[in-house]
Amino acid sequence: MRALVAGGAGFIGSHLCDRLIAEGIAVTCVDNFISGLPANIAHLMDRPDFDLIEHDVSQPFDSPADLIFHFASPASPNPASPKSYLAHPVATALANSQGSYQLLEIARRHGARYLFASTSEIYGEPLEHPQRETYFGNVNPHGIRSCYDESKRFGEAIAMTYHREFQVDVRLIRIFNTYGPRCDPADGRVIPNFVSQALTGDPITVYGDGAQTRSLCYVSDLVEGIWRMITSERTGGDVVNLGNPEEHTILEYARLIRDLCDSGSEVVFRELRTADDPSRRQPDITKARELLGWEPQVLLREGLKQTIAWYREHLPDLSAGTDPVR
């Protein structure tokens, strides 16, 4: 069996490649490194069951596969980062729209099962809390984040359209904020930022007043959910939230990370919140529990300790060329 992992050199995609290979599945990774890192897949490059195609998925290509995972999109909204989707808005819109089309065509051609990495961002500034899969969202269709959230909504729509018109076996997951080793501090997301700042003694930059909330899922839990979603016989043509329902304010994360790093960093407040930065976010995972028998296992403190240990070891290499975004 062979899997095609689009975005396999990214944070989540590289952990997914590891899991698939551990399950005995050969992996073809397709990535253009717009936000991913060669270091994330360096340990796989000499394996006979791993191939890399350097390519932009929004452009035509073909690669036979039994399973296709579409994880190819910049994912950080940090306006200060050269790796964020705000720095590459057209490429992001195309990765999730034309890229979905290209990958669905490959799925159709080869009879592959297709899984799309959608996002909690499709709920926008949610008026329903926590968010269930039945909620249609509250999204600004032309706002600064629309290159990302509207293209993800289109990615869901075209996947379901291929399912209905061509019977392609598609599965949609809505990923809520995920953290862990290999998330590049240069892309400016909250956990790599706070951890790298705490470890280097720099100020921990809370955007706005820090009262906005997020619910953080450790990456191994997410990958387990992805695995169950692709292997289940009950999830074809369905959409499932994957995330950890434990919700905290951003200020609480800042203080917790400072404590766990035993850091003297001060917490500072910056006006870097983008327009449409959701004020709260929490998944309802009832459906994942019922359909997949899945729920997160890694406690926040434990996941953060593992993440911090990884950054302690790798931060000097990661920061050598690119200063973490603050």
Contact pick of 4, 5, 13, 226 for ligand NAD (by CB under 6 A):
13
Tokens linked to 169: 């076996």
For ligand NAD, the binding residue among 5, 17, 31, 225 (CB under 6 A) is 31
Chain positions 151 to 190 lying near ligand NAD, rule: CB under 6 A, are: 175, 177-178
* 273 near ligand UDP (CB under 6 A): yes
Residues present in the chain in total: 326
Q: Tell me the site size for ligand NAD, rule CB under 6 A.
A: 29
Say whether residue 9 binds ligand NAD (CB under 6 A): yes
277 binds, among ligand NAD, ligand UDP, none (CB under 5 to 8 A by kind): ligand UDP
Is 95 in contact with 55 (CB distance < 8 Å)?
no
DSSP code string of 36-72: --GGGTGGGTT-TTEEEEE--TTS------SEEEE--
With binding defined as CB under 6 A, does residue 83 bind ligand UDP?
no
Q: 4: Cβ–Cβ under 8 A, 6 or more apart, which residues?
A: 27, 28, 30, 63, 65, 67, 68, 69, 103, 106, 112
| DSSP calls for 216-250 | -EEHHHHHHHHHHHHH-SS-TTEEEEES---EEEH
SS3 call for 174: strand
Q: Does 76 bind ligand UDP (CB under 6 A)?
A: yes
- The values of phi and psi at residue 247, to 5°, are -105, 135
**Token pair for residue 41?**
């897949």
The partner in contact with residue 212, picked from ligand NAD, ligand UDP, none with C-beta cut-offs of 5 to 8 angstroms by kind, is: ligand UDP
| Cα angle, residue 189 at apex, residues 188 and 195 outer, rounded to 5° | 90
* Pick from 298, 291, 271: nearest CA to 228: 291
CA distance 9 to 233: 28
* Long-range contacts of 128-131, Cβ-Cβ distance < 8 Å, separation of 24 or more: 129/280, 129/282, 130/245, 130/247, 130/282, 130/283, 130/284, 131/241, 131/281, 131/282, 131/283, 131/284
| Residue of the chain from 61, 135, 207, 227 that contacts ligand UDP (CB under 6 A) | 207
> Which of positions 277-306 make contact with ligand UDP (CB under 6 A)?
277
Q: Does 72 interact with ligand NAD (rule: CB under 6 A)?
A: yes
58 versus 197: smaller Cβ distance to ligand NAD: 58
Identified binder of ligand UDP from the candidate list 214, 228, 258, 287, rule CB under 6 A: 214
Would you call the peptide bond into 74 cis, given omega within 30 degrees of 0 as the criterion? no
Binding residue (CB under 6 A) for ligand NAD from 17, 34, 239, 304 = 34
Nearest approach, Cβ of residue 291 and ligand NAD (Å): 19
Q: Find the binder of ligand UDP among 28, 35, 100, 177 (CB under 6 A).
A: 177
Binding of ligand NAD by 304 (CB under 6 A): no
Strand, helix or coil for residue 295: coil
Q: Is 117 in the site for ligand NAD (CB under 6 A)?
A: yes
Catalytic residue flag (residue 148):
yes
Does residue 70 interact with ligand UDP by CB under 6 A? no
269 binds ligand UDP (CB under 6 A): no
Least Å from the CB of residue 165 to ligand UDP: 32
Q: Which one of residues 3, 4, 10, 294 is an interface residue with ligand NAD (CB under 6 A)? A: 10
Positions that interact with ligand UDP (CB under 6 A): 76-78, 177, 189-190, 193, 205-207, 212, 214, 250, 273, 277
Which residues does the annotation mark as catalytic? Answer: 148
Positions that interact with ligand NAD (CB under 6 A): 6-7, 9-13, 30-36, 56-58, 71-75, 95, 99, 117, 119, 175, 177-178
